Amino acid sequence: MSELLGFSGVRQRFSGNQTLTLPDWTLQRGEHCLIMGPSGSGKTTMLSLAGGLLTADAGHVSLDRQPLHELGEAQRDRLRARCVGLIFQTLHLVSALNVGRNLALAQYLAGQTVDWDRIRTLLTELAVDHLIQRKPDTLSQGQAQRVAIARATVTSPQLVLADEPTAALDDRNCERTIELLLSQAQACGASLVIATHDQRLKSYIKTTIQLDVPT
């Protein structure tokens, strides 16, 4: 086991003199983790820092043993493309492209060659292969979420970051989604980090980081 993600002394300042202090934290390869806490406690911020979408104002974040604050923006984009799959709270599929091509786009932008076999297999595993030609606008919320999971894992990342993937789902769909996430992470040997305040996920992922609302 080796370290995939590390936070040390990270602090993030926002406008209005509000400072968010995040706990020190390391994540080993293949290890899963939940980031929990009430609204406004900094869960999304922590995911953004981990994925290199944000840089910390103080402290260090390292991803795949590379200190993110020392990298340029373009290098961070490359590192993210290589190592990280992102599932946002809002799913952010590209509306001009159909489902299959959204996945192909992720591979293309990550610098991989487009692998239609992998795309089809992945969509089949997630039971949305019949939607491959559909535009994202025409999908149901649950279908779009599964496509988003497929897109986050189609590049075989080492780290999958998911923000509130189950917040709007009933128990049955919550169960199905977390199982899909776990199985896809398993399939490509990735670590899964989920930011949520959904207590139901605790039974699936044992490691938890608890955040508190900043004072």
Ligand X SMILES: Nc1ncnc2c1ncn2[C@@H]1O[C@H](COP(=O)(O)OP(=O)(O)OP(=O)(O)O)[C@@H](O)[C@H]1O
Q: At 89, phi and psi to the nearest 5?
A: -60, -45
Could you tell me which stretch among 21-29, 35-43, 96-104, 148-156 binds ligand X (CB under 6 A)? 35-43
203 binds ligand X (CB under 6 A): no
Shortest approach of Mg ion to residue 194 CB, angstroms? Answer: 12
196 binds Mg ion (CB under 5 A): no
Q: Which of residues 103-162 bind other proteins (CB under 8 A)?
A: 104-111, 114
53 binds other proteins (CB under 8 A): yes
39 binds ligand X (CB under 6 A): yes
153 binds Mg ion (CB under 5 A): no
Strand order in the sheet with 33-36: 84-87, 159-163, 191-196, 33-36, 208-210
Q: Which of residues 43-102 bind ligand X (CB under 6 A)?
A: 43-45
CA atoms within 13 Å, Cβ hemisphere of 70: 7
Nearer to ligand X, 15 or 203 (CB): 15
42 binds ligand X (CB under 6 A): yes
Which residues face 3 on adjacent strands? 28
Contact indicator for 82, 112 with CB cutoff of 8 Å: no
Q: Is the dihedral of CA 155, 157, 161, 166 positive or negative?
A: positive
